[in-house]
Structure 1
Amino acid sequence: MGAKGLLILKLLMFQGLFISHSQYADFDFFYLVLQWPGAYCDTNRSCCYPTSGKPAADFGIHGLWPYYVDGLYPSHCSPDSKFNQSQISDLVSSLKTKWPTLSCPSNEGFKLWEQEWKEHGTCSESVMNQHDYFEKTLKLRDRVNLLQILTNSGIKPDDGFYDLQSIKDAIKQEIGFTPGIECNKDPELNNQLHRIYLCVDTSGTEFIGCPALPKERCSSILQFSKF
């Protein structure tokens, strides 16, 4: 590049007009949302196991959601981008294990995956296609074993009650970043550990410190329900 080209590049960078590839995304980061099935089923809502049977007692994927730093998020960004089962045929076995449906009536899971693609995945099409979206989410799930992390810290799904800060600290110690925690209430109105939010860069490959955390609405002591 000649002197004139370098000068133009510097001017563009100064004006904020030259951006890296990762900044082309129409959002600021992802939430990888992992869900404890016991808490989902232990509410007043109905819970049905997939047609493949009861999922493992482990954190399953709820979704990979694009977000903005101000707490807002894009959704249903491309109605013309239809969910295509054939594009994820090689991933279905892993999806059934790690991204299981618990909605009723009992089904294979395609309704859940279609919903996640339509609402959230289509908003990430600037950086990944449908197959990439599901494959990258599965790979992120494989990189963090939340159940093992918590169990190693003495926090077990035994219907016992545990300190919210201890849950956060155990996860931060392992992955290096503070997670977001979402709670729900069971029929007895106990606060339960329901979902854990981990932040991911716009490429969908690396965990990062959360630019923003979801509102927790949790008590300081949570129940970790059985499943």
Structure 2
Amino acid sequence: MAFSRSSMLALAVTSLVSGASAQLETCSNTNTFSCQSSSTNPTCCFNYPGGALLQTQFWDTNPSTGPTDSWTIHGLWPDNCDGTYESSCDSARAYTNISDILTAQGRTDLLSYMQNYWVDINGDDESFWAHEWGKHGTCINTIDPSCYTNYSSQEEVGDFFQKVVDLFKGLDTYQALSAAGITPSSSKTYTLSEIQAALTSLHDGASVYLGCSSGSLNQVWYFFNVAGNAIDGQYQAVDTLTKSNCPSSGIKYVPK
């Protein structure tokens, strides 16, 4: 499907005239998963080229961010099914007023959650959200404005942030590690294999990317393929496409 500016404008005008709520195109090919088809045709129901979607999380300790018993949100990234990715795909939609957009859409509960669990290490949450949307969100082709019926300006922005939060809520990294006996400690260390096992179990048997800084665990990426669009589609856990940079043993998981 072509994503022309004229079609985007037409959809926006229709929405203003009718007053109808925006909806993403209904997808019928719900059994065709991204990265698992030979198709190279991006449509509103097929994520391409960014067919792998990664829900990414932080464990920030210097300075600490977010609750002491939870990881925090990094974002949702489209990956080209091979570890490479597109970025900053539409400068015209690189919005910087994310809080205003969510408030105008009546998504105040979502915004409140983000203020607790999607926080910037330097305290500038608004810039962090704008960065994640502009760099990654604009590259998810199945939430392009032309994929909406009765499109309302910036509707896809609210849908994107809601989806990231919904995925994050289903991936409680802190709890999964704790259940495996892996808890923050100033002295204890862990092996890569035991951390991976705990989070692979959480991720429906699919391996995850584990990131470390100076030998301390600080990132996890959960990879998915999607059938349908990125908002309403079916998410399938898949193995990481990126090799961990953590050591095989002696990994620190320091407290916030």
Band the TM-score falls in, shorter-chain normalisation: 0.7 to 0.9
Q: Which residue of 1 aligns with 2:138?
A: 122
Q: Is the 8 Å Cα contact of residues 40 and 49 (structure 2) preserved in structure 1?
A: no
Residues 191-211 of structure 1 deviation map (CA, whole Å, 9 limit, x = unaligned): 11110010123425624213x
Residue type matched to 1:23 in 2? F
SS in structure 1 of the partner of residue 81 of structure 2 = coil
Secondary structure at the aligned position of 1:147 is classed as: helix
- Per-residue CA distance 1:66-91 (angstroms, 9 max, x = gap): 10122110001000003143222222
Relative to structure 1, the CA distance from residue 139 to residue 17 in structure 2 (aligned partners, 3 Å threshold; closer, same or farther) is: closer
Q: How many residues align?
A: 192
Alignment of 1:151 onto 2:178: yes
Q: Deviations over 1:81-113 (max 9, x none)?
A: 03143222222101111111112xx33x11100
**Residue matched to 1:173:** 201
Superposition CA RMSD, Å:
2.3
Equivalent in the alignment of 1:9: none
Instruction: Please report how far the alpha carbon of residue 220 of structure 1 lies from its aligned counterpart in structure 2 after TM superposition.
Output: 0.9
CA distance in 2, matches of 1:76, 1:143: 27
Q: Quick one: distance in 1 between partners of 2:56 and 2:255? A: 20
- TM-score normalised by length of structure 2: 0.68
Q: 1:16 to 1:142 in 2, by over 3 A?
A: closer
Instruction: Give the structure 1 partner of residue 116 of structure 2.
Output: 97
> Does the aligned pair in 2 maintain the 1:25–1:127 contact within 8 Å?
no
The residue type paired with residue 179 of structure 1 is: V
TM-aligned CA distance change 1:16 to 1:140, over 3 Å: closer
1:56 corresponds in structure 2 to 67
Q: 1:133 to 1:226 in 2, by over 3 A?
A: same
Q: Which residue of 2 aligns with 1:11?
A: none
Matching of residue 87 in structure 1 with residue 110 in structure 2: no
Q: 1:6 — aligned with what?
A: none
Could you say if the C-alpha distance between residues 81 and 19 of structure 1 is closer, same or farther in structure 2, counting changes exceeding 3 Å? Answer: closer
The 3-state SS of whatever aligns with 2:91 is coil
Contact 1:182–1:215 (Cα < 8 Å) also in 2: no
Structure 2 gap ranges (5+): 1-37, 145-155
- Secondary structure in structure 2 of the residue aligned to 1:97: helix
Q: Percent identity?
A: 22
Shift of 1:138: 0.1
